[in-house]
């Protein structure tokens, strides 16, 4: 079997490494990939958003399966295009991907089908939004751009002035472009956050091991929101009881709701949850594997990933029992100094072997480039250092110990990944 992986981050690297564990997978190729992925898969310089070229590559390379990992191409209909070209594909249709690409759609779905989430209102007029915020008068309040905004479209406003500014920035100054034509204003929730990724064939939901992301750039959850600075799995705040509640009130109802709306979701559905005093509520859906959650969750999967992928595509998930390791997993992201705002690229990365690996951990490459056997930084998030051990403490210890031997100019990472969970 030959697989084409679409994407270029640490998540894609983790998916590729996992897929390759099975003898059934003869070859994985990737577009566009990165310097480290190139050690595991031949890379082709096709941008993730070029649907036509990607379909062309899949056909030319005679891929038996195309795995579309990032949100942008899914929202733009890459899975539909692959299918229309007669290719076998893992990833939801554009209509199903709207559960991530439109927050307005996701919120109205939850309201219509009574899926627990924060109370909210939708606005396409800045003036009305500001009037509403003033009339509620409760802070913090949460303002979200409707569309995809590289994970930056959510603003937590601590005061009326901040809220007014956020509405102004998003709707009038269009800081997120068309993604901000509509906004959601919602209630601020508190509680531990949990990410639950789930395989679904549109009927059965198979949740993966829970995880915890760390979205803020700096220690103590300070600084700007990033794509994610590290993750641990399982998430100790997420109990069996939460899992039962979520299956009954969130996971299955979401799948049923998507079917009722004629948007059958097949692929990996990501539930971003908050465990509030009133019970778990949905903060967001993603139509894909999370990054860096994938880098902690997938290493714990014992069932061959390719078998699960086949079951999702063929609608056989009900017949499959997923097997998980009982170990703990931790991943720390090494980022370029200045990320997520502005940062330099092209610094030499020291401390990796010739295949981009390091001892006792798995190194997932995100923003790297390889020239003559030497790795260079080539993005905001550069590497994810992931370890699996019998306790969270040991997993974190192994990851941080490995990091001591890796370096590049202006390297930045959080020293408190998982600290809240110990």
- Asked if residue 314 binds ligand AMP (CB under 6 A), the reply is no
Q: Taken in order 114, 115, 117, 123, is the CA torsion positive or negative? A: negative
When binding is defined by CB under 6 A, the residue of 12, 193, 291, 293 that contacts ligand AMP is 193
> What binding mask, one character per residue, do residues 210-249 give for ligand GLY by CB under 6 A, x or -?
---x--------------x---------------------
Task: Report the residue number, 186 or 293, with the smaller CB distance to ligand AMP.
Answer: 186
- Asked if residue 72 binds ligand GLY (CB under 6 A), the reply is no
Which region, judged by CB under 6 A, interacts with ligand GLY, from 38-46, 201-209, 236-244, 285-293? 285-293
> What binding mask, one character per residue, do residues 74-113 give for ligand GLY by CB under 6 A, x or -?
----------------------------------------
The answer to whether the CB of 155 falls within 8 A of the CB of 147 is no
> What binding mask, one character per residue, do residues 113-152 give for ligand AMP by CB under 6 A, x or -?
-----x-----------------------x--------x-
Element (H, E) at 185: strand 183-187
DSSP for 195-260? EEEEEE-SS-EEE---BEE--EEEGGGEEEE-S-SEEEES-TT--HHHHHHHIIIIIHHHHHHHHH
When binding is defined by CB under 6 A, the residue of 12, 40, 80, 186 that contacts ligand AMP is 186
Cis ω on the peptide bond leading into residue 140 (within 30° of 0)? Answer: yes
In angstroms, what is the minimal distance from the CB of 216 to ligand AMP? 9
Binding-site size for ligand AMP (CB under 6 A) equals 14
Which region, judged by CB under 6 A, interacts with ligand AMP, from 183-191, 352-360, 384-392, 410-418? 183-191
When binding is defined by CB under 6 A, the residue of 8, 141, 206, 286 that contacts ligand GLY is 286
> What binding mask, one character per residue, do residues 258-297 give for ligand AMP by CB under 6 A, x or -?
--------------x----------xx-------------
416 binds, among ligand GLY, ligand AMP, none (CB under 5 to 8 A by kind): none
- Asked if residue 337 binds ligand GLY (CB under 6 A), the reply is no
3-state secondary structure of 127: helix
Is 161 exposed, middle or buried, given 0-12, 13-18 or 19+ CB atoms closer than 10 A? Answer: exposed
291 binds, among ligand GLY, ligand AMP, none (CB under 5 to 8 A by kind): ligand GLY
When binding is defined by CB under 6 A, the residue of 2, 95, 215, 393 that contacts ligand AMP is 215
Alpha-carbon gap, residue 354 to 336, rounded angstroms: 21
Which region, judged by CB under 6 A, interacts with ligand GLY, from 82-90, 137-145, 255-263, 286-294? 286-294
The answer to whether the CB of 167 falls within 8 A of the CB of 176 is no
- Asked if residue 188 binds ligand AMP (CB under 6 A), the reply is yes
In angstroms, what is the minimal distance from the CB of 351 to ligand AMP? 31
Residue 387's DSSP bridge partners are: 330
When binding is defined by CB under 6 A, the residue of 291, 327, 383, 388 that contacts ligand GLY is 291
The answer to whether the CB of 35 falls within 8 A of the CB of 56 is no
Instruction: Tell me the CA distances in angstroms from 286 to 290, 330, 358, one per residue in order.
Output: 8, 21, 31
Alpha-carbon gap, residue 18 to 3, rounded angstroms: 12
Half-sphere exposure of 296 (CA within 13 A, CB side): 35
Task: Report the residue number, 43 or 167, with the smaller CB distance to ligand AMP.
Answer: 167
3-state secondary structure of 93: coil
193 binds, among ligand AMP, ligand GLY, none (CB under 5 to 8 A by kind): ligand AMP
Instruction: Tell me the CA distances in angstroms from 143 to 61, 188, 189, 201, 233, one per residue in order.
Output: 44, 10, 13, 32, 29
- Asked if residue 290 binds ligand GLY (CB under 6 A), the reply is yes
User: Which residues are CB-neighbours of 366 under 8 A, at least 6 positions away?
Assistant: 9, 10, 13, 34, 291, 333, 379, 381, 382, 383, 384
Task: Report the residue number, 167 or 421, with the smaller CB distance to ligand GLY.
Answer: 421
Task: Report the residue number, 17 or 288, with the smaller CB distance to ligand GLY.
Answer: 288
Strands (E), 302-348: 328-336
Which residues are near ligand AMP by CB under 6 A?
118, 142, 151, 154, 156, 186-189, 193, 215, 272, 283-284
Which residues are near ligand GLY by CB under 6 A?
151, 213, 228, 286, 290-291, 293
């Amino acid at each position: 079997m030959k697989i084409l992986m679409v994407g270029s981050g640490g998540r894609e690297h983790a998916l590729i490494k996992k897929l390759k564990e099975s003898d059934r997978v003869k070859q994985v190729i990737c577009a566009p990939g990165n310097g480290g992925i190139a050690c595991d898969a031949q890379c082709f310089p096709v941008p993730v958003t070029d649907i036509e070229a990607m379909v062309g590559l899949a056909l030319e390379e005679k891929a038996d399966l195309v795995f579309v990992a990032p949100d942008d191409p899914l929202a733009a209909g890459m899975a539909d295009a692959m299918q229309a070209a007669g290719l076998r594909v893992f990833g939801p249709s554009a209509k199903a991907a709207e559960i991530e690409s439109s927050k307005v759609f996701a919120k109205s779905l939850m309201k219509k089908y009574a899926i627990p989430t924060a109370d909210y209102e939708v606005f396409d007029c800045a003036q009305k939004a500001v009037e509403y915020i003033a009339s509620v008068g409760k802070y913090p309040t949460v303002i979200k751009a409707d569309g995809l905004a590289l994970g930056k479209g959510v603003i937590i406003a601590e005061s009326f002035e901040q809220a007014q500014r956020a509405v102004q920035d998003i709707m009038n100054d269009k800081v997120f472009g068309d993604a901000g034509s509509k906004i959601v204003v919602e209630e601020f929730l508190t509680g531990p956050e949990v990410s639950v990724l789930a395989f679904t064939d549109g009927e059965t939901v198979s949740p993966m091991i829970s995880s915890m992301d760390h979205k803020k750039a700096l220690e103590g959850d300070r600084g700007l929101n990033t794509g994610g600075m590290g993750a641990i799995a399982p998430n100790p705040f997420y109990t069996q009881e939460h899992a039962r509640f979520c299956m009954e009130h969130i996971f299955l109802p979401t799948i049923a709701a998507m079917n009722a709306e004629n948007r059958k979701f097949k692929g990996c559905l990501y539930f971003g949850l908050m465990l509030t005093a009133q019970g778990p509520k949905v903060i967001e859906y993603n139509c894909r594997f999370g990054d860096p959650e994938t880098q902690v969750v997938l290493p714990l999967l014992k069932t061959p990933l390719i078998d699960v992928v086949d079951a999702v595509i063929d609608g056989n998930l009900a017949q499959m029992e997923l097997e998980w390791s009982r170990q703990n997993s931790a991943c720390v992201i090494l980022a370029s100094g200045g990320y997520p705002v502005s940062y330099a690229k092209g610094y030499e990365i020291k401390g990796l072997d010739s295949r981009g690996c390091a001892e006792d951990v798995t190194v997932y490459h995100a923003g790297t480039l390889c020239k003559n056997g030497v790795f260079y930084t080539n993005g905001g998030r550069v590497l994810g250092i992931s370890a699996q051990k019998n306790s969270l403490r040991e997993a974190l210890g192994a990851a941080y110990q490995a990091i001591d031997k890796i370096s590049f100019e202006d390297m930045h990472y959080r020293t408190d990944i998982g600290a809240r969970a110990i």
